[in-house]
Amino acid sequence: MQAGASFPQVQDIVLIGGGHAHALVLRMWGMRPLPGARLTLINPGPVAPYTGMLPGLIAGHYRRDEIMIDLVRLARFAGAALILDRAVGLDPARREVQFADRPAFAYDIASVDIGIGSDLPEIPGMADHAVAAKPLGRYAEAWQAFLARRLAAPQLVIVGAGVGGVELALASAHRLRGQGARPQITLIERAAAPLPHIGAKARARLLAKAEAAGIAILCNATPAAIAADRVTLSDGRVLASDFTLSVAGGRPQAWLAETGLAVQDGFLTVGPTLQTLDPAVFAAGDCAHLAHAPRPKAGVFAVRAAPVLFHNLRALASGRALRPYHPQRDYLKLVSTGDRGAVADKFGLRAGGGWLWRVKDRIDRRFMAKFEDYPAMARPVVPAEAAKGLEALLQARPLCAGCGAKLGAEALQVALAGLPAPQRPEVIAGPGDDAAVLRLAGGGLQVLTTDHLRGFTGDAHLMARLTAVHALGDIWAMGAAPQSALAQVTLPRLAEPLQARMLGQIMAGASQVIRAAGADLVGGHTTQGDELVIGFSLTGLGDRVVTKAGARPGDAVLLTKALGSGTVLAAEMARAGAPGLILGEAYAACLAQMARPLAPASAILAPWAHAMTDVTGFGLAGHLMEILRASGVAAEIDLGEVPLLPGAETLAAQGQGSSLAPTNRAALGWAVDLPPGPRADLLFDPQTCGGLLACVPEDRAEALLAALHAAGDSVAARIGTITEGAPFLTARR
């Protein structure tokens, strides 16, 4: 995962937040990693908006994917681990980042760039009936939902008549008029005049634009309560509102003031080197207060601070001199007017027009271009004198992690073919099923299995959770209850303090899943190697087990999770992009599904299933074929009913896929008849933490699906039918 990973890692540098400064630091880090430093980014979501293009998104000039920095692709390029979670605290004394639902994360050096919010939590109804412009995610979703209502005369109330409020009001008016609507937009400003932080000439130009757009501005006004259809002001006036937006200044996240570090109005105070009161903690962007040179909250200062922050993080880690950051006194403000026009303001001067929009558009797109294309991953160079076949193997797709790193079915079949039959009477099932089955002396059955995964995420806590869910899948696939687990962990080369940190994250994540499953994590084994590998040996108990044999003609074939994890993980490893697709969001959705244990689905399906397995390395086609061969039946799949992860089909159509997928397809050969296309290709996609594949009585299928949906498996679907005949798989579109 880590750039420069051939060197042992000895220091943890943690970036908290995916703001503009940190995004640029990550980009620079990818081009110049610091040997021995392990870089981690912590952010609650997989993307970060470029705020300069937000009004253009609202006005309809940009697509959502055009204004989002994909932090997943960026972190991969930088060689940084990515933790998709929200930090809720920082303890400088213990040097730990705190979370709500996972263990604290230790650091040697930290930097904070978490932006600000524009919500108004003190106003009744704000959380339930309004949306804040920052953070962007909820605002963008709410805006799209509002546009879909297509109201003829929508009424909007925007709290805050600063530059951001006026800019978004103009953008909203332009978009709604483009839909044929007649919007009524009202801006509320608590000050005596709107646009307090801009030059007089630019203010006059923007106010003229607002008046021409029919936007009303109420000054000396504050909201007292917000309801679903109105805003009540403190003086008793009531404004009808179909969409209420807050752009009222910038509010720091509350936990910053609880760190014990110096703050100014809740913002972290930093000096010229961007260090806080604790030299090991830096801050940049809107969450920081520049004590030596106070400036308004604006993205331009975060962008200009990034090279200094990049240098100083490396300098502190390597014992070199730090540099000061001196922000410019003023900067060019380009304020869009909704209709592909803009107003410029600097040093009190003013200009405006369509040509300024084009200037602003070029500046914004140039910034976003930094995060669109990254250098291709380097491939090993084959020496002039090398064994035959080496070049062909190295030119194949890079080896995937997760289940994409497993051996193919054909190689396993050859290796297992020579194993003798069980010789002990209590061993009643062995190779070929999901787990070995042992008959207990006192009655009942015990299942025994093992599994491990190469690390595909630098978040060790999450990797352990996913590996535990994946390994437990074999227990749940046989309808048994998990009993015990032993861990096998290979850590990459790390200094001893980092070893303890990573192992602690792994054991905490694994224990969380295993104990929730009703089992105990009772020990294990550790070693060091080239990369992170986590595995578990597990036992489970049951009065009966569900095997792969037993499927009957007429049975319905049910699948509980969407396909595509191998393709999404391979695309993430390759930093692949696709028009209209934000890879980071597809990756986050993939991880969210993978983290869902199979226990609820197993409890629903096991009492009724004639045959069942979990879909893992051999893909849906391969694991279904195991059922068909064990049961002596055939199957027909409806490709249109097979659930797919967001983005998986788009990526597969572009040629993205796991290194194991071609082997999975070749292993089935003549035994499948599938139409060409990416949906069929995904039947061979190796799944990590895949769903259950169950053959159930036809007359129980609908009830079982309803129960699965009620239990949270919302994508569970009937994907086909078992038919008579020799083992053969067909599919129709």
Q: Which domains does the chain have, with CATH numbers?
A: 11-116+252-331 (3.50.50.60), 117-249+332-372 (3.50.50.60), 434-542 (3.30.1330.10), 556-732 (3.90.650.10)
**Environment class of 513 (CB within 10 Å of its CB; exposed 0-12, middle 13-18, buried 19+):** buried
pLDDT of residue 416: 67
Taking the C-alpha atoms of residue 597 and residue 516, their distance in angstroms, rounded to an integer, is 10
CB burial readout 253-272, b (16+ within 10 A) else e: beebeebebebeebbbbbbe
pLDDT of residue 264: 94
**C-alpha torsion 5→8→10→12, nearest 10:** 20
Show which residues are catalytic.
403
pLDDT < 50: residue spans in the chain? 1-5
pLDDT of residue 207: 93
Find out whether 3 and 30 touch, Cβ atoms under 8 Å: yes
Task: Record the pTM.
Answer: 0.92
- The length of the chain in residues reads 733
* Collapsed DSSP state (helix, strand, coil) of residue 637: strand
Give the closest residue to 666 by CA, choosing from 651, 684, 653. Answer: 684
Taking the C-alpha atoms of residue 189 and residue 181, their distance in angstroms, rounded to an integer, is 25
pLDDT of residue 395: 67
Strands 37-43 and 184-189: unpaired
pLDDT of residue 412: 67
Give the closest residue to 46 by CA, choosing from 320, 346, 457. Answer: 457
Give the closest residue to 335 by CA, choosing from 524, 526, 202, 514. Answer: 202
CB neighbours of 387 closer than 8 A, spacing ≥ 6?
none
pLDDT of residue 496: 94
pLDDT of residue 96: 98
CB neighbours of 381 closer than 8 A, spacing ≥ 6?
none
The helix/strand count (H/E) of the chain reads as 21, 37
Name the DSSP letter for residue 208. H
Give the closest residue to 410 by CA, choosing from 619, 615, 618. Answer: 618
pLDDT of residue 2: 43
| Alpha-carbon distance values, 104 to 89, 167, 277, 458 (Å) | 9, 40, 21, 16
Find out whether 675 and 731 touch, Cβ atoms under 8 Å: yes
pLDDT of residue 4: 40
Side by side, the strands of the sheet bearing 333-336 are 333-336, 342-346, 349-353
